């Protein structure tokens, strides 16, 4: 137990260092954008006095390193400033949008993870059969297509040819839970098709690797049925790589939803990020990017810890 706690502390420290580096990259990237922010927001007709006052309000007159530490300190305290587009607090804008993104990602994960694990187990069970080859071909096809292509195909089939689900996944707080589920079926299905393939193939590969172990051969010699060997003996010992790939894909479901949200005009954090970039709403862009990065780092940290708990041998590399 002490080793696990020590590992968690080390990984958290490494995650914090990673977040500092990412925040620096986000700040430098925004600073490198061409043109003057004050002039871009106020327009070419703004007087020099107005531009100077606006720059002072945004602290653009301060050195970059001072602004960086002020922004990072404010983010750690939850003070994200106000949006340049509508003067609303950034925390208020991001809170509701991030909740919508989490709702979409969770809905996709609830379907994708069980389906991927079941298909992976069945593909390992019926390895090199027609079923295995068909599943592999189908999943490879879905993972090969870009998300927007899968999204447009689903819209054409299920929203234009056969009107079952809406092509614009607009949700609000007045909608019931099932109304929201109906509205997000197409974006959720798009994400599911994209991530199932990776998780399924990793599960299949991990189980097949374990099937070559001596204890599996012993279980077979004892006459235990193949399904029981895979489900009760091979799969639990393959959990470590499976947990890693599931966590990485869960991180993708949250961080990689930008394109899907834009296609379906879904009011999530990805859509807000794209809109803010087009409006040069720098406070929202910086906060959104850092939240996405923090989510990704946190899920990878969780994956490392869960992998070691499921396979304690990883604590001792020898």
pLDDT given at position 313: 61
pLDDT given at position 37: 66
pLDDT given at position 185: 92
- Residue 253 tokens read as 């479901």
Domain membership of residue 51 (yes or no) is: no
Domain membership of residue 127 (yes or no) is: yes
pLDDT given at position 316: 58
| Run of H or E including 228 | helix 226-228
* Residue pLDDT, tens place only, 251-299: 888 877 888 888 998 988 888 888 888 877 888 888 888 888 888 888 8
Task: Give the SS3 label for residue 119.
Answer: helix
DSSP, residue by residue, 240-309: HHHHHHHHHHHHHHHHTTHHHHHHTT--SHHHHHHHHHHHT-HHHHHHHHHHHHHHHHHHHHHHHHHHHH
Mean pLDDT, the chain, as a whole number? 82
Domain membership of residue 121 (yes or no) is: yes
Q: Looking at the 3D structure of the chain, how many domains does it have?
A: 1
Kindly report the CATH number assigned to the domain that includes residue 116.
1.10.3720
Segments forming the whole domain that contains residue 149: 104-280
Domain membership of residue 81 (yes or no) is: no
Residues of the chain with pLDDT under 70: 1-2, 35-46, 54, 310-318
Backbone torsions φ then ψ of 82, nearest 5 degrees: -115, 150
Domain membership of residue 94 (yes or no) is: no
pLDDT given at position 39: 67
Domain membership of residue 129 (yes or no) is: yes
- What are the C-alpha distances in Å from 72 to residues 22, 26, 147? 11, 11, 33
Domain membership of residue 238 (yes or no) is: yes
pLDDT given at position 186: 92
Domain membership of residue 297 (yes or no) is: no
- Residue 260 tokens read as 């899907």
């Amino acid at each position: 137990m002490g080793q696990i706690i020590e590992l968690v502390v080390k990984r958290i420290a490494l995650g914090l260092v990673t977040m500092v580096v990412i925040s620096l990259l986000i700040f430098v990237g925004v600073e490198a954008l061409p043109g003057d922010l004050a002039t871009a927001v106020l327009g070419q007709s703004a007087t020099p006095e107005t531009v100077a006052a606006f720059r002072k309000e945004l602290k653009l007159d301060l050195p970059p390193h001072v602004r960086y530490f002020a922004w990072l300190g404010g983010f750690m305290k939850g003070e994200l400033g106000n949006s340049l587009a509508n003067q609303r607090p950034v925390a208020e804008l991001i809170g509701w949008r991030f909740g919508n993104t989490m709702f979409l990602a969770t809905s996709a994960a609830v379907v994708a993870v069980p389906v991927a694990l079941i298909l992976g187990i069945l593909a390992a069970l019926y390895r090199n059969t027609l079923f295995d080859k068909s599943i592999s071909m189908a999943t490879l096809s879905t993972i090969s297509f870009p998300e927007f292509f899968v999204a447009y195909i689903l819209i054409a089939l299920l929203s234009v040819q056969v009107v079952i689900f809406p092509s614009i996944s607009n949700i609000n707080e007045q909608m019931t839970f099932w109304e929201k589920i109906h509205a997000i079926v197409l974006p959720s299905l798009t994400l599911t098709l994209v991530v199932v393939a990776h998780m399924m193939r990793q599960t299949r590969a991990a189980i097949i690797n374990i099937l070559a172990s001596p204890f599996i051969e012993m279980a077979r010699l004892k006459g235990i049925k193949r399904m029981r060997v895979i489900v009760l003996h091979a799969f639990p010992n393959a959990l470590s790589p499976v947990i890693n790939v599931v966590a990485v894909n869960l991180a993708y479901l949250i961080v990689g939803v930008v394109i899907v949200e834009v296609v379906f005009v879904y009011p999530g954090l990805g859509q807000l990020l794209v809109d803010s970039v087009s409006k040069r709403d720098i406070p929202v862009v910086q906060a959104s990017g850092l939240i996405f990065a923090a989510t990704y780092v946190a899920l990878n940290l969780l994956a490392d810890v869960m992998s070691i708990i499921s396979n304690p041998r990883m604590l001792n590399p020898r």
